[in-house]
């Protein structure tokens, strides 16, 4: 291998290492601070001034000690600032010794005040920047989650996602707790102390610096272990959050089945896992700081021993030994702070890896670069050879084709798992088909902007999700510019106005989490009003009456009849009684359309639909009003 080839390989490896470093979560987190570089620059200046004053005040101890140490003290040349103050005080204080002491005391008070101002400035500025970064990151994470497909939420529990938004980002806020200024202050303090130690006695400095490699090794080893433990802590917290969220959301079920003990035991196991991982981290943190401090104090003891010998030997003056040992203490304290900073860095690194692992998941459904904005639609829907397969390989839809004309109402029926809801989700572009096309007014929906596509589609799901707010807020959800008249009109069309007015505070009534204070039929009509307030040209009803009793179903059916005119409607139904008035029915089995036609036509064919209808009619005749297709 030639020298050029070796050089090229070396450069390639170095470039790869730099790229790998750039991709690390901690470096990516630091990049979040870029927009605030001006604030950090001024904070750095204030930090440098504050630390410079701190080191200067230690330097003044030499001039403070001289009149105390030497008998027959005579006026000697001091620090320029102290010299100026002494001249100013000479007319007031006759003794040079007292004049020097008074000058130093005045200088200490003035510089201490300035240091307090600079410390306040850099502390506030850096912590404000940290808070902004965490707020922005939380916003970015939530915004990114909004663009992820339902498949992502099916694979990740709600508890785990809440853990990312709370626990992981709370760890990142530790940057604010310790103050990012510590990351800057400590190296400046250590560098300044080391340089001043060299100026006082370079020989003594080199002798006492033997603690540096030992301390650095301890910090490095402990930091690596803490990062691993922190990752386990965050994972355990996510599992505990998932278990807790699941239990709280199904508390009624737990109580009905007397499963409180089992649920509590599951939570106890997760809680104890978090406790054990926390203890591991605590042991490491608790051991590192005192160990580093012990090594540093050993260095101080050695410094005092050797420094005292140097003073006795006359190679260093007594007044120089005191500031030297103070600087050495500052240097040793810096190592202690570095160990704390390294612990925080590893914790933050572990948490940021979890946050960026979510941010790095690409949205499966995105706007195409050349996507278009629709001004209006007539509601013409066409599926052309659409196939959809789950990630596990299960085929849900296989080469499905059908057409819905503008203003036509079409029902999808069939056994559970036939692919009915998948068709609705594909039309809303919550999922993307593996092959085939879905057209609206002749436009492939992949070429339509998502916001534009969904603006013309109203959706009423089987499981109604309502906000813990007022009736008005729930109906106006998704239409921020809705007026009171718009909300009232939508409620009337949904046959909901009458029952809303009977509520304690009418449209201002707070309905509770998920609409807990309303009946199922009332929730469904609120959902219909919410879907039609934007006057969508296409309306999708996903088993909107499957969980309702006969009376509530009749109310919802009247609401649907009042909004049907002129809209293209796709109705997914289990109850065949709810689709008698539709123009056409598609029967799905195992992801394929096996029958198509009106209710009368399908009854005459004597196929699957006729059998399903007969089964439900028999069930109803027997008094089972809830008999369903699948």
pLDDT single digits (tens) 322-376 = 787 778 777 777 776 776 777 777 777 777 887 888 888 887 778 888 888 888 8
Judged by average pLDDT, the poorest of 278-292, 441-455, 519-533 is: 278-292
CA pseudo-torsion sign 270, 272, 275, 277 = negative
613: pLDDT strictly greater than 50 = yes
Q: Is residue 329 domain-shared with residue 405, that is, in the same domain? A: no
Per-residue pLDDT, 168: 75
DSSP annotation of 362 reads P
What average pLDDT is seen over the chain? Answer: 76
Per-residue pLDDT, 401: 92
The pLDDT of 60-77, averaged and rounded, is 59
| Residue 488 domain boundaries | 468-534
User: What percent of the chain stands above pLDDT 90?
Assistant: 5
Per-residue pLDDT, 374: 85
Spatial CA neighbour of 264 closest among 276, 251, 274, 279? 251
403 pLDDT tier (thresholds 50, 70, 90): very high
Q: Is residue 344 domain-shared with residue 475, that is, in the same domain? A: no
Per-residue pLDDT, 387: 93
Beta-strand pair 538-542/568-572 = parallel
Judged by average pLDDT, the poorest of 53-62, 229-238, 292-301, 400-409 is: 292-301
255: pLDDT strictly greater than 80 = no
Between CA 499 and CA 368 the distance in angstroms is 44
In this predicted model, which residue has the larger pLDDT, 85 or 196? Answer: 196
The tally of CA atoms less than 13 A away on the side-chain side of residue 43 is 22
621-630: which pairs have CB atoms within 8 A and are 24 or more residues apart?
A: 625/549, 625/550, 628/546, 628/574, 628/575, 629/413, 629/414, 629/415, 629/573, 629/574, 629/575, 629/576, 630/414, 630/415, 630/416, 630/417, 630/418, 630/574
547 pLDDT tier (thresholds 50, 70, 90): low
Per-residue pLDDT, 620: 47
Judged by average pLDDT, the poorest of 8-12, 55-59, 214-218, 572-576 is: 8-12
19: pLDDT strictly greater than 50 = no
In DSSP terms, 592 is beta-bridged to: 589
Distance linking the first and last C-alpha atoms of the chain: 71
Query: Which segments within 141-204 are labelled E, that is strand?
Result: none
17 pLDDT tier (thresholds 50, 70, 90): very low
247 within a domain of the structure (yes/no): yes
605 within a domain of the structure (yes/no): yes
In this predicted model, which residue has the larger pLDDT, 414 or 263? Answer: 414
Per-residue pLDDT, 438: 93
C-alpha angle 411-416-417 in degrees, rounded to nearest 5: 100
Q: Is residue 540 domain-shared with residue 526, that is, in the same domain? A: no
Query: What length is written for the chain?
Result: 630
Token digits for 542? 């996903």
Alpha-carbon torsion, ordered 575, 581, 584, 589, to 10 deg: 0
Q: Of the ranges 207-211, 259-263, 526-530, 586-590, which is most confident? A: 586-590
Beta-strand pair 381-389/395-404 = antiparallel
pLDDT single digits (tens) 552-564 = 667 667 767 777 7
CA pseudo-torsion sign 536, 542, 547, 550 = positive
507 within a domain of the structure (yes/no): yes
Asked which of 329, 359, 389 is the last residue of a domain, the reply is 359
Query: Which segments within 508-566 are labelled E, that is strand?
Result: 538-542
DSSP annotation of 370 reads T
Query: What's the alpha-carbon Rg for the chain, to the nearest Å?
Result: 37
Question: What CATH number does the domain containing 276 carry?
Answer: 1.20.1560.10
In this predicted model, which residue has the larger pLDDT, 76 or 446? Answer: 446
Asked which of 359, 388, 410 is the last residue of a domain, the reply is 359
In this predicted model, which residue has the larger pLDDT, 231 or 583? Answer: 583
Q: Is residue 486 domain-shared with residue 520, that is, in the same domain? A: yes
Asked which of 328, 359, 390 is the last residue of a domain, the reply is 359
Q: Is residue 439 domain-shared with residue 556, that is, in the same domain? A: yes
Q: Is residue 344 domain-shared with residue 445, that is, in the same domain? A: no
Split into its structural domains, the chain has a count of 3
Between CA 471 and CA 175 the distance in angstroms is 41
3 state SS of 460: strand
Token digits for 449? 């902007």
Q: Is residue 477 domain-shared with residue 577, that is, in the same domain? A: no
506 within a domain of the structure (yes/no): yes
256: pLDDT strictly greater than 50 = yes
Judged by average pLDDT, the poorest of 34-38, 79-83, 325-329, 394-398 is: 79-83
User: What percent of the chain stands above pLDDT 70?
Assistant: 73
Question: What CATH number does the domain containing 396 carry?
Answer: 3.40.50.300
Q: Is residue 543 domain-shared with residue 525, that is, in the same domain? A: no
498: pLDDT strictly greater than 90 = no
Q: Is residue 214 domain-shared with residue 230, that is, in the same domain? A: yes
Q: Is residue 594 domain-shared with residue 505, that is, in the same domain? A: no
pLDDT single digits (tens) 23-63 = 577 778 778 888 888 988 898 899 889 888 888 888 877 76
Element (H, E) at 439: strand 435-440
Q: Is residue 352 domain-shared with residue 226, that is, in the same domain? A: yes
pLDDT single digits (tens) 105-123 = 788 888 888 988 988 888 8
20 within a domain of the structure (yes/no): no
416 within a domain of the structure (yes/no): yes
442 within a domain of the structure (yes/no): yes
Alpha-carbon torsion, ordered 478, 479, 483, 486, to 10 deg: -90
DSSP annotation of 548 reads -
pLDDT single digits (tens) 151-209 = 777 676 666 677 777 777 777 776 655 656 677 788 888 888 888 888 877 777 776 67
DSSP alpha helix (H) spans, 201-259:
202-208, 211-249, 251-256
6 pLDDT tier (thresholds 50, 70, 90): very low
Tokens 């570089």 -> residue: 37
Between CA 513 and CA 511 the distance in angstroms is 7
3 state SS of 350: helix
In DSSP terms, 381 is beta-bridged to: 404, 440
In DSSP terms, 437 is beta-bridged to: 384
Task: Write down the pTM of the prediction.
Answer: 0.68
372 within a domain of the structure (yes/no): no
Per-residue pLDDT, 299: 65
Between CA 67 and CA 76 the distance in angstroms is 9
Q: Is residue 284 domain-shared with residue 182, that is, in the same domain? A: yes
Per-residue pLDDT, 627: 42
Per-residue pLDDT, 384: 92
């Amino acid at each position: 291998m030639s020298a050029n080839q070796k050089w090229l390989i070396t450069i390639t490896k170095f470039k790869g290492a730099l790229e790998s470093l750039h991709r690390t979560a901690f470096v990516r987190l630091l990049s979040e601070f870029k927009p605030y570089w001006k604030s950090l620059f001024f904070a750095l200046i204030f930090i440098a001034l504050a630390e410079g004053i701190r080191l200067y005040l230690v330097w003044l101890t030499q001039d403070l000690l001289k009149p105390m140490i030497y008998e027959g003290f005579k006026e000697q040349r001091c620090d320029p600032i102290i010299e100026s103050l002494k001249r100013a005080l000479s007319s007031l204080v006759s003794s040079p010794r007292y004049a020097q002491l008074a000058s130093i005391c005045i200088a200490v008070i003035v510089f201490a005040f300035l240091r307090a101002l600079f410390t306040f400035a850099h502390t506030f500025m850096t912590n404000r920047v940290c808070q902004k970064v965490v707020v922005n990151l939380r916003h970015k994470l939530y915004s990114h989650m909004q663009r992820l497909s339902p498949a992502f939420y099916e694979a990740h529990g709600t508890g785990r996602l809440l853990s990312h938004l709370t626990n992981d980002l709370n760890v990142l806020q530790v940057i604010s707790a310790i103050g990012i200024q510590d990351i800057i202050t400590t190296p400046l303090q250590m560098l300044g102390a080391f340089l001043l130690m060299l100026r006082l006695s370079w020989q003594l400095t080199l002798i006492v610096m033997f603690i540096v490699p030992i301390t650095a090794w301890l910090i490095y080893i402990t930091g690596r272990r803490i990062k691993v433990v922190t990752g386990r802590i965050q994972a355990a917290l996510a599992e505990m959050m998932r278990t807790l969220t699941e239990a709280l959301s199904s508390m009624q079920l737990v109580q009905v089945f007397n499963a409180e003990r089992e649920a509590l035991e599951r939570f106890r196991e997760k809680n104890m896992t978090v406790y054990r991982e926390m203890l591991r981290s605590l042991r490491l943190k608790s051991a590192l700081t005192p160990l580093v401090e012990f090594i540093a104090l050993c260095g101080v003891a050695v410094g005092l021993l050797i420094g005292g010998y140097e003073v006795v030997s006359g190679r260093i003056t007594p007044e120089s030994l005191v500031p030297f040992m103070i600087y050495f203490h500052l240097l040793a304290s810096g190592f202690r702070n570095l160990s704390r900073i390294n612990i925080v860095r590893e914790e933050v690194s572990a948490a940021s890896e979890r946050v960026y692992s979510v941010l790095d998941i690409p949205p499966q459904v995105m706007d195409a670069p050349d996507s278009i904005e629709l001004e209006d639609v007539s509601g013409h829907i066409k599926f052309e050879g659409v196939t959809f397969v789950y990630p596990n390989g299960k085929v849900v839809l296989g080469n499905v084709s059908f057409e819905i004309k503008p203003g036509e109402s079409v029902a999808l029926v069939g056994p559970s798992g036939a692919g009915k809801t998948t068709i609705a989700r594909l039309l809303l572009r919550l999922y993307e088909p593996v092959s085939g096309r879905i057209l609206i007014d002749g436009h492939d929906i992949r070429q339509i902007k998502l916001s534009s596509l969904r603006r013309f589609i109203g959706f009423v799901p089987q499981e109604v999700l309502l906000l813990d707010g007022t009736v008005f807020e729930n109906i106006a959800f998704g239409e921020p510019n809705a007026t009171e008249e718009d909300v009232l009109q939508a409620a009337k069309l949904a046959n909901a106005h009458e029952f809303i007015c009977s509520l304690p505070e009418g449209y201002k009534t707070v309905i509770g989490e998920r609409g807990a204070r309303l009946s199922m039929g009332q929730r469904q009509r609120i959902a219909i009003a919410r879907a039609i307030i934007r006057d969508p040209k296409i309306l999708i009803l996903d088993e909107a009456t499957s969980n309702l009793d006969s009376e509530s179903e009749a109310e919802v059916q009247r609401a649907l009849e009042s909004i049907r005119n002129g809209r293209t409607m796709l109705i997914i139904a289990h109850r065949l009684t709810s689709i008698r008035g539709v123009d056409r029915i598609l029967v799905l089995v195992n992801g394929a359309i096996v029958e198509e036609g009106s209710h009368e036509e399908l009854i005459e064919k004597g196929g699957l639909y006729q059998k399903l209808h007969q089964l439900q009619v028999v069930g109803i005749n027997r008094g089972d009003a809830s008999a369903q297709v699948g």
